[in-house]
Structure 1
Amino acid sequence: MNKKEHGNFSTRRIVLDAMLIALFFVLSSASLRLGNTFKITFDSLACLITAMLFGPLDAFLVGFIGEFLAQVLSYGITATTFLWMLAPALRGLVMGIGVKLFREKMSLPAILKHRSWLYMVFVVLSSVAASLMNTAALYVDSKMFGYYEYHMVFGVLLIRLGTGIVSSVLMAIIAVPVLQALYAAHAVPVNSMIKRD
């Protein structure tokens, strides 16, 4: 057995993680901005795919590193960069924990056969966690840099949660055929979270 192919962090797994980080960055760059308060993003697709393939650690890292690249190339490194990086990392972590805890019910075959409600529950939970972390980051950032206004940070929280949930559910629906294609092309490593029949 070759350690490169079957180790915990095989070469293939690291390369797939790097590709998913790049996908995260591209999708983050393609986000729709509505004023200074709202951002409808598609980067959650990369975190969801990573969580389904490899679980919480990889999904955390893809969100964390992907957002680091997005932050540095958009705003540079600031005192709050780390806080902004936590939201997508938290999304990946929550989704990955769900996949790890409920491996059978959240496997790709289970989702394809039953349209697993548990999958969507964790998508929504991960979205809420990311939106709350983004709100906390916005609060700290606005206080630190002197642009705090209650209505901008907390007054639109429910709208921010709603748009986050809707975009995450859409990305979760898109993630299923992407995972199917990866599975069919044998691009998914044997030791991934996706259970093979």
Structure 2
Amino acid sequence: MTGHVVGLQAAGYDELDQPVARLCIFPTESPADAARLFGEIPVLCLTTSSSLVDAPGSASSEGIDHIVAVADQPIVSQLLHTFDRAARVTWNRGVVDGHRKLHIFAYQMNVLPGIIWLQFATEAGRQVTSAWLETLPKEQAEKDPDAFKHVNVLIDVAVQHVVAAWFMIDQQGGRSSDLRSRSQLHRRQ
């Protein structure tokens, strides 16, 4: 193995009702191998933009409809690199529920179909990113909330998982994004 780890992570509660994370490491570098084990059960393939760039040649996404990649590198640099290849970006912005101000941007790129890029941002980051995106010509980047309707559930699950993993941001649990209707959100009672 090259240091790339494919694993299953599930949040839950133990017998004392304490939050726990259950981990299972798979002896493969390919997320498709792990996803196939679940048959028809939908699996969220969540990674980071760095991991996608550094993925070994043996890593395969065959059979995975969508990969959600959290932007862990400067998003503007990543988008500029994409524009150099004549790519078109579709984006939307939302707010993460909770007691802290946290925003989320979702991106899809025509040159990388099936990958949904997520950027978490503070209020200042939201203002700067929104202002920059809105200056771009529509041939490069366009805000289109409808383009994400078919993946809103995946985005919501990814947001809940990532934010819950960041203990300092989410000490109470149960966050979600507003990229889809609040009436559809599943929350822990």
Q: Same fold (TM over 0.5)?
A: no
Higher strand share: 2
Higher helix share: 1
Which TM bucket (shorter chain)?
Answer: 0.3 to 0.5
Higher RCO (C-alpha 8 Å, min separation 6):
1
Instruction: Give TM-score scaled by structure 1 length.
Output: 0.31
Instruction: Give TM-score scaled by structure 2 length.
Output: 0.32
